Amino acid sequence: MEKGSPIGVFDSGFGGLTVLKEIVHQLPQYDYLYLGDNARAPYGNRSFETVYHYTLQCVNWFFQQGCSLVILACNTSSAKALRTIQQNDLPKIAPHKRVLGVIRPTAEIIGNFSDTKSVGILATNGTVASESYPMEIAKFFPDLKVFQEACPMWVPLVENREFDNPGADYFIEKNIEQLLTQSNKIDTLLLACTHYPLLINSLRKFVPPTTAIIAQGDIVADSLADYLHRHPAIENNCLKSGQLQFYTTDNTTDFDEKGAFFYGEPIQSKYVAL
């Protein structure tokens, strides 16, 4: 294991910044390296093979930068690539390094939010088609009813900052309606895509006021804190100078401008060619 490494945080683009923000808020002492694969985003409609191939390439990049722990802060990558990377690739390429996702920590607690034992999952096509959420949630809450809705238009709306207008509302209302008509018992909605927290004000317009809308940022931050507590060898190896570095596979000016919006603070990125 390398001597002192930053924690890697990955997303297909900007969405993971909403997770990084909560992680840094809760665990500011560590160093973090963020990579957005903006040149190839969105991942949501891509095949299993493509998402796996892109994600593995990015994970390898983190390893080359010295990261020993990488968080896939992207549901689509967590759904379509994480298991194969953990089971097939890591033992061969980096047996002492760890790659974690966002689905399991969310599945572990989502049932606690619902009184009616019925939750709705809003996610990309890829995440929904993978059935990862219903499968993972069933391990922790076997009695919970899980309903899913793919929202393929939402990521492009967010990425292009076109989410606060009547055009966006049309797609948001349509997907919410399609989800809520699956069951009138749904009292909890999970934003199972790291881009969606930016839509929360628009979503509120179409969701009953008593319905809980759950974003993943603090769930993932809590889970990382717990993981580091339970794995002292990994924790001891983490650099702790509170430094943040941002990388993108596309235009840095664009990343800095839009990314600041997701992260909530100005950011300065560097370009990386993969």
The catalytic site residues sit at 74, 193
In terms of CB distance, is 75 or 223 closer to ligand DGL?
Answer: 75
Q: How far is the CB of 157 from ligand DGL (least distance, A)?
A: 12
Residue 158 within binding range of ligand DGL, rule CB under 6 A: no
Q: Does 41 help bind ligand DGL (rule: CB under 6 A)?
A: yes
Question: Counting contacts by CB under 6 A, is residue 195 touching ligand DGL?
Answer: yes
Of 82, 107, 193, 203, which one interacts with ligand DGL (CB under 6 A)?
A: 193
Cα diameter, the chain? 53
Please give, one letter per residue, the 3-state secondary structure of 11-77. ECCCCHHHHHHHHHHHCCCCCEEEEECHHHCCCCCCCHHHHHHHHHHHHHHHHHCCCCEEEECCHHH
Residue with tokens 């990015």: 58
Q: How far is the CB of 43 from ligand DGL (least distance, A)?
A: 4
Q: How far is the CB of 9 from ligand DGL (least distance, A)?
A: 12
Q: Which of 148, 194, 202, 269 binds ligand DGL (CB under 6 A)?
A: 194
Please say whether the beta carbons of 89 and 25 come within 8 A: no
Q: Report the site for ligand DGL in 120-149 (rule: CB under 6 A).
A: 124, 127
Give, in degrees to the nearest 5, the angle at Cα 59 between 41 and 158.
Answer: 25
Q: CA dist 68 to 31, 97, 126, Å?
A: 12, 5, 27
Q: Could you list the residues that contact ligand DGL (CB under 6 A)? A: 11-13, 15, 41-44, 74-76, 124, 127, 155, 193-195
